[in-house]
Amino acid sequence: KMDRDKFNTALITFDKVRRCRAKTEVSFGTPTNIVDKIDGVEAWGVSPLADAIALSNKMLTKIDKKMVVLLSDGKDNCGGNPVEEAKKLYKKYGVKVNLQVIGYAVEKKKQEELRKIANISRDWMYHDAKNGDAVKKIIEKIIPTPQKEQIDTIINRVEDRPSFVMT
């Protein structure tokens, strides 16, 4: 569950300065509201999914309830292997990590890589979303008792900038 008081959510985005690198936009324990940071997230053609999953792996070490929501508009185009990074995540945490992949307006061809990530564990799932409303419904389904106002705001702000990872 997202808990505003415990700040147990983080946001990883893709770094414009260090191309093909993920960066921590909001760290665990930081009182910065993730929703406020989404305004600065832009899709700009580079998706280092493998690097983002690897960064999630490092960040989750001291977190009890581990959930990664990977929201992407395509496949890794930075030479990384997100499937291998997701396997490392599962190997390290096993059933203690829940990874949910949301393909946002993803072409059929690009869905395959995202599905491979979700297929690593029988508990992980791939969700296909054609638009922001579909993303909202998926998030409401996978995150128990979400903070509705935050989800509404996130969806409204990412519709034009879909490439980021929420953990």
- The model's pLDDT over 3-61, given as tens digits with 9 standing for 90+, comes to 444 445 677 877 766 777 777 766 665 555 555 565 566 666 778 899 999 999 988 88
Taking a C-beta distance cutoff of 8 angstroms, is the pair 14, 163 a contact?
yes
Question: DSSP letter string over 60-116?
Answer: GGG-SSEEEEEEESS---SS--HHHHHHHHHHHHGGGEEEEEEEES--HHHHHHHHH
Q: What is the pTM of this model?
A: 0.75
**pLDDT class of 139 with cuts at 50, 70, 90:** confident
CA distances from 147 to 9, 100, 161 (A): 12, 18, 21
Q: Which residue type sits at 149? A: E
| Per-residue pLDDT at 72 exceeds 80 | yes
Predicted local distance difference test score (pLDDT) of residue 68: 85
| Per-residue pLDDT at 157 exceeds 60 | no
Predicted local distance difference test score (pLDDT) of residue 77: 84
**pLDDT class of 2 with cuts at 50, 70, 90:** very low
Predicted local distance difference test score (pLDDT) of residue 41: 62
| Angle CA 16–21–29, to nearest 5 | 95
